Homo-oligomer: A and B are copies of this chain.
Amino acid sequence: MCGIFGVFSHPEAANLTYLGLHALQHRGQESAGIVSSDGEEYYSHIQMGHVVDIFKKEILEKLKGHMAIGHVRYSTTGSSLLQNAQPFLVNYFRGYLAIAHNGNLVNYETLKEELEKEGSIFQSTMDSEVIVHLIAKSNSNSIIERIKEALYQVKGAYSLIFLTENKLIAARDPYGFRPLVLGKIKDGYVVSSETCAFDLIEAEFIREINPGEILIIDREGIYSDRIPSDKPRNSFCIFEHIYFARPDSIVFGKNVYLLRKNLGKILAQESPVDADLVVPVPDSGIPAAIGYSEESGIPFELGLIRNHYIGRTFIEPKQSIRHFGVKLKLNALKDVLKNKKIVLIDDSIVRGTTSRKIVKMLKAAGAKEVHMRISSPSTNYPCFYGIDTPTRRELIASSHTVDEIRKYITADSLYYLSLDGLKKAVKEDKNCYCYACFDGDYPVKFPKILKKLELTIF
């Protein structure tokens, strides 16, 4: 997953982008980068690591200009290398072009092969680079036409921000998998993956970039164009609501915190427990646990204390640290849990290994019973649109029944929110979400068998 941010027409464009990326840090912790421009020169700083560690005063001072785009990355395609960090800046026949991409292109390998056959040389192993080559190959004289030509050819999930000599261009794939929002700050405009970045810099949230929209911002003002495509149905990623987005963001028109709390309430209705305490897996399970507690009347208690000097389980790229991470990150409160019947709330179960460790930790701390409640349906299918889920084989729910999972994680009971319950919570009446990770109904087909699929047990 990644976070993207852009500013047009503000004297401190790079500083705002730095703050915006900081607010989007939860979307990617592997690398961060900013490319800025004053319309004459381009300034760029991209580095592995966290935003606060990378952008020191002297670096920000070098990122001059009234326009900037930024990117925080967690790898989906391409290895964890600096050459794969974004924004991706190139100098081609028509000048400089910088691009920041959130999403995943499913026909990347096919397109790359075709381009290379015609003599293109790739600098990275990122799927995003293919868009740049398609733009460079286009014969059109207008950058907008070149972008449209390129985006017509790529398939999959993409929210994009481009920076040219005189324009900031935002684009969102016709399905609208990933969020992308527009804001206003003084005389300038800002574009961001999530609204929480606008709150930090005190920008005004105007609206979402629409699925299939190309939004062009330049000295003339702001205007829209469309990516050529059969208008497909909307396919907003439901996992942005469940797990990925920050609780203080408005995503796909909904407040994330309240939605998550509501998932907890519906969960309490669907699966009540006779228990003493509602305990969240911090921090991701907290909103649903508050909702469950409110609906059930069972007291909410912080039975697990989190060490915040680590980061987020889902997001660290090294497998070894992820396993060790549960102990490094969470500690159970014996004096709170002893002899208590616990409802344990989390947002999802991926491999089951973390849940198993947490349940065991609670029991070792004296909990009499642990009833696990998950505020989403069981994750049965991998994501090909930008969420870094493992292959199907590794998803415990793809090959085990709920009771088998319950036994594995050593819980006294286990219940997943129903898909209907989830749809009720998001008020899904227009069929505008992608639930592929739950039901396997993938909105965009894959022209080629992808690695994750090869390993699956369809």
Contacts and interface: CB of A to CB of B under 8 A. Distances in A.
Interface of A: 19, 22-23, 25-26, 29, 50-52, 90-93, 113, 116-123, 132-133, 136-138, 196, 199-200, 246-248, 255, 257-258, 283, 286-287, 290, 294, 299-302, 305, 307-311, 327-328, 331-336
Contacts of A26: 307, 309
A184 B187 CA distance: 63
B121 A336 contact: no
A52 B331 CA distance: 17
Given A309-B52, A336-B257, A196 B290 contact: no
26 contacts: A19-B328, A22-B328, A25-B309, A51-B309, A52-B309, A52-B310, A90-B121, A92-B119, A93-B117, A93-B119, A118-B137, A119-B133, A119-B136, A120-B121, A121-B133, A121-B136, A123-B123, A196-B331, A200-B331, A248-B331, A248-B332, A255-B335, A258-B336, A287-B302, A294-B299, A308-B308
Contact of A257 (B29, B117, B199, B302): B302
A294 B278 CA distance: 13
Pick the 10 closest A-B CB pairs, nearest first: A119-B137, A93-B116, A248-B305, A255-B335, A248-B331, A119-B136, A25-B309, A308-B308, A92-B121, A199-B331
A116 B136 CA distance: 8
Given A248-B333, A305-B246, A331-B248, A290 B300 contact: yes
B22 A307 contact: yes
B117 A121 contact: no
A116 B336 CA distance: 52
Contacts of A290: 300-302
Contacts of A200: 327-328, 331
A327 B80 CA distance: 31
A290 B331 CA distance: 19
A174 B93 CA distance: 30
Contacts of A123: 121, 123
Contacts of A255: 333-336
A16 B333 CA distance: 21
A121 B116 contact: no
Nearest to A308: B308
User: Which of the listed residues A19, A91, A93, A294 has the most CB atoms from chain B within 10 Å of its own CB?
Assistant: A93
